[in-house]
Amino acid sequence: MEEMKQAVLPKREEVPSHLKWKLEDIFPDDQSWEEAFKKVGELANSIKGFSGRLHESPEILADCLKLYEELQLTNEGVYVYARMRRDENNNNPVYQGLTDRASSQNIQAMSATSFLTPEILSLPDETLDSYLKNPALLPYEFFLSEIRRQKEHVLSAAEEKIIAQAGELAQAPMTIFGMLNNADISFPFIKDEKGNEVQLTHGRYIQFMESQERRVRKEAFDTMYSTYQKQRNTLASILNSSVKKDVFYSRVRHYPSALASSLDDNNIPVDVYTNLIQAVRDQLPSMHRYVSLRKKLLGVDELHMYDLYTPMVQDINFKVDYEEAKEVVRKGLEVLGEDYQQVLERSYEEGWIDVVENEGKTNGAYSWGSYGTHPYVLLNYQNNVNNLFTLAHEMGHAMHSYYSDLNQPYLYAQYKIFVAEVASTVNESLVMDYMLKTTTDPKKRMYLVNYYLEQFRGTIYRQTMFAEFEKIIHEKVEKGEPLTADILCEIYKDLNVDYYGPDMVIDDDIKMEWARIPHFYTSFYVYQYATGFSAATALSQQMLNEGKPAVERYLNFLKSGGSDYPISLLQNAGVNMMTPEPVTAALQVFAKLLDEMETLS
């Protein structure tokens, strides 16, 4: 695949078909989508007929839950298709419209089923216990036990219906940020290494930041943040609204904090979050040592924030086109066995992946899909090592979804967010191990060790810094304090000072970085990158060292979906996340990589 050098991104219709995903596997055309959309409305109306009747018999409850599954499954397909079509080109008014309709109907479906949880909880414990002896309810045992666990946080049926109806308002901050960030913000042109005028985009930003020419890095950095700076008050208002939404829901549901509310969905103790921050802060000397090594290897008098992504190994051309990336990922994941390899090959050949950037396409990368069809992966592939590992990462998510969907009923197929980053990071670890074992060029090996160090920095240190930022801003709102652009910038810059240490010049522009992080609109999500990376480091080492028994435990983890609590699923796979030990152990690997980098240099 030729790397795109043109100054302007191609239009969607100009992208070759073999580089596009095939959403026709969800719905063959928009008319089929319309029929499913209509069906969601009909199912939502039907399920309302069970309201007030769940006390009648276990058979009535079982019938209601079957209809609930069908409604959720159909609704999921409708929403996923519309949203992924919009993601192909956010400027396309047809799919803007479909997404808006699907989102509105999703709220209506939630409202129609809002009676379910409070009515189940209104059943006396002895009644529900007797119900569970009925074979028809056996598939719903874990589902019902989860509802009972959160009993004190569920409101009356009338209150739950109001909350469900307010869902569209609650989505507003994320929707507005997404439109501003993906469709309305346009970045200026900058000059690349050859002096060509090239438009800065989300997808090209990291590519520029990896440039060995410092002028290009600085220009991309300054251009990116000066563009966000012009929208600073709007962006602060959007994020403030999102945080206030989180705090509102936590208080309405009687949680002590927004953090506790967010973690309870995964049944994760708050200590896991606070222990992570403390464990990482305890290991900040290793990060500061890394910064010192980077400064030395780059040979600069001052190390700036725009010097963080460029390889510490100079004069090396390590381009990786998409076809080569597919082969490296395939070889790196051979340890996972033949069946895994066959499914991976299908993903490459059968239109699971949307590969290249085009005008209006949602930036970044993700894996998504709907139960009953294969998962999909969105990329904005650029020809570099970072994007090779992005492919490995997103295919980890996709394979987790594939195995989970294949082995679990719909209600238990969706794995919890806490374990969502484990499979993706296992893939990265295994691919890295393969590349380090097969790379003979000393400079390329140094490059890979540098890249792996960056993964630790970016996934454990940086995501934990993000997690601490989220904790601070939510606590401020909970105390009734304002979140202005100035306050957000001050908090963010102070954290950078702490995490990067005395050898880093904390450029003033970095204070605006919070404004471009989409994950801040999914509260307390990012900490799971750090915990997931730590768990994945342990699991990948087990598979490489133990072989088949560890691989079997891991594949069983992938097949388990959401059929148990995430902490238990990881324990079954061989990792105990209730202790800080996996985080500390992962950062000890980081310290050893630092040792190797110092030796190689």
466 vs 549: CA distance, rounded Å: 36
Same domain membership, residue 582 and residue 476 = yes
What are the angstrom distances between the C-alpha of 304 and each of 187, 192, 205, 300, 548? 22, 19, 16, 9, 45
Does 244 map to a domain? no
Q: What is the pTM of this model?
A: 0.79
User: How far from 590 is each of 166, 261, 305, 553, CA to CA, in Å?
Assistant: 45, 32, 20, 25
Report pLDDT for 5: 43
What pLDDT sits at residue 7? 59
Distance (Å, whole) CA 592 – CA 453? 10
Choose among 53, 157, 170: nearest CA to 113.
Answer: 157
Residues 294 and 150 in one domain: no
pLDDT tens-digit readout, 206-241: 889 989 899 999 999 999 999 999 999 999 999 999
Give the CATH number, domain containing residue 589. Answer: 1.10.1370.20
Is 479 a member of any domain? yes
Is the Cβ–Cβ distance between 399 and 415 less than 8 Å? no
Q: Is 344 within the bounds of a domain?
A: no
Q: What is the CA radius of gyration of the chain?
A: 24
364 in a structural domain: no
- C-beta of residue 594 within 8 angstroms of C-beta of residue 293: yes
**Of 170, 203, 223, which one is at a domain's C-terminal end?**
170
Confidence band, pLDDT 50/70/90 cuts, at residue 314: confident
Sign of CA dihedral 14, 16, 20, 26: positive
45 Cβ contact list (under 8 Å, min separation 6): 112
Contact 388, 329 (CB under 8 A): yes
Report CA-CA distances (Å) from 149 to 33, 145, 191, 494, 562: 36, 6, 57, 39, 15
For residue 144, pLDDT beyond 60: yes
What phi and psi, each to the nearest 5 degrees, are found at residue 100?
Answer: -65, -40
Q: Are strands 376-378 and 353-354 parallel, antiparallel or unpaired?
A: parallel
Share of the chain above pLDDT 70, in %: 99
Left (φ > 0), alpha (ψ -120 to 50) or beta: where does 445 sit?
alpha
> How many whole angstroms separate alpha carbon 529 and alpha carbon 425?
9
Q: Rounded mean pLDDT of 443-462? A: 90
**Is the domain of 584 the same as that of 460?**
yes
Cα atoms in the 13 Å half-sphere on the side-chain side of 110: 17
Torsional class of 467: left (φ above 0), alpha (ψ -120 to 50), beta (otherwise)? alpha
* Same domain as 135, residue 16: yes
Q: DSSP secondary-structure letter at 4?
A: P
Residue 318 CA to chain centroid, in angstroms? 27
Distance separating alpha carbons of residues 31 and 35, to the nearest angstrom:
6
* In a shared domain, residues 259 and 166: no
Residues linked to residue 353 through DSSP beta bridges, in sequence order: 377
Residue 10 predicted with pLDDT over 90:
yes
Query: Which helix H or strand E contains 362, and what residues bound it?
Result: none
User: Domain range for residue 141?
Assistant: 12-170
Catalytic residues: 394
Residue 3's pLDDT is 44
Choose one of 170, 191, 223: the last residue of a domain. Answer: 170
| Helix, strand or coil, per DSSP, at residue 377 | strand
Identity (one letter) of the amino acid at 35?
A: E
* Domains in the chain, number: 2
- The average pLDDT across 395-418 equals 95
* Residues 149, 157: Cα–Cα separation, whole Å: 17
The Cα diameter of the chain in Å comes to: 77
In a domain, 555, yes or no: yes
Does residue 6 register a pLDDT over 80? no
Residue-level pLDDT at 33: 98
Q: How far apart are CA 111 and CA 398, in angstroms?
A: 30
Per residue in 501-534, pLDDT tens?
Answer: 999 999 999 999 999 999 999 999 999 989 999 9
The residues, any chain, with a CB within 8 Å of residue 5's CB and separated by 6 or more, are 196, 198
Q: Do residues 166 and 279 share a domain?
A: no
Q: How far is it, in rounded angstroms, from Cα 253 to Cα 152?
A: 8
Angstrom distance (rounded) from CA 419 to CA 426 = 11
Residues 155 and 261 in one domain: no
Q: Is residue 203 part of a domain?
A: no
| pLDDT above 90 (res 405) | yes
**Do 450 and 552 fall into the same domain?**
yes
Report pLDDT digits (tens) over 148-192: 888 889 888 889 889 988 888 999 999 999 999 998 999 999 999
The average pLDDT across 412-420 equals 91
| pLDDT at residue 576 in the model | 87
Residue 339 lies in a domain: no
**How far apart are the C-alpha atoms of 132 and 147, rounded to whole Å?**
14
pLDDT band, very low/low/confident/very high, at 320 (cuts 50, 70, 90): very high
* 32 and 157 together in one domain: yes
CA–CA gap between residue 456 and residue 292 (Å, rounded): 16
Q: Name the average pLDDT for the chain.
A: 94
Burial label for 220, CB within 10 Å (0-12, 13-18, 19+), is buried
DSSP state letters, 84-119: HHHHH-TT-HHHHHHHHHHHHHHHHHHHHTTTHHHH
Cα separation, 151 vs 120, in Å, equals 10
Distances (CA, A) of 162 to 122, 166, 264, 296, 312: 18, 6, 21, 59, 55
pLDDT digits (tens, 9 = 90+) for 568-582: 999 999 998 888 888
Range from 173-177, 216-220, 409-413, 589-593 carrying the lowest mean pLDDT: 589-593
Cβ neighbour number for residue 535 with a 10 Å cutoff: 28
Alpha-carbon distances of 161 from 46, 72, 152, 371, 583, rounded to whole Å: 16, 17, 17, 26, 41
Name the pairing type of β-strands 376-378 and 366-368: antiparallel
Which residue type does 489 have? C
Distance between CA atoms of residues 128 and 122, nearest Å: 10
Q: Which residues contact 40 (CB under 8 A, 6 or more apart)?
A: 71, 74, 75, 78, 105, 109
Instruction: Spell out the residues 6+ positions from residue 381 whose beta carbon is closer than 8 angstroms to its own.
Output: 1, 322, 325, 355, 356, 357, 387, 390, 391
Q: Where residue 163 sits, what CATH number does that domain have?
A: 1.20.140.70
**Final residue before a domain boundary, out of 138, 170, 202:** 170
pLDDT band at 50 (very low <50, low <70, confident <90, very high): very high
Residue 2 has pLDDT above 70, yes or no: no
Q: Does residue 159 sit in the same domain as residue 293? A: no
Residue 146 inside a domain? The answer is yes
Out of 89-93, 394-398, 545-549, 592-596, least confident range = 592-596
Q: Does position 1 have pLDDT exceeding 50, yes or no?
A: no
pLDDT of residue 96: 96
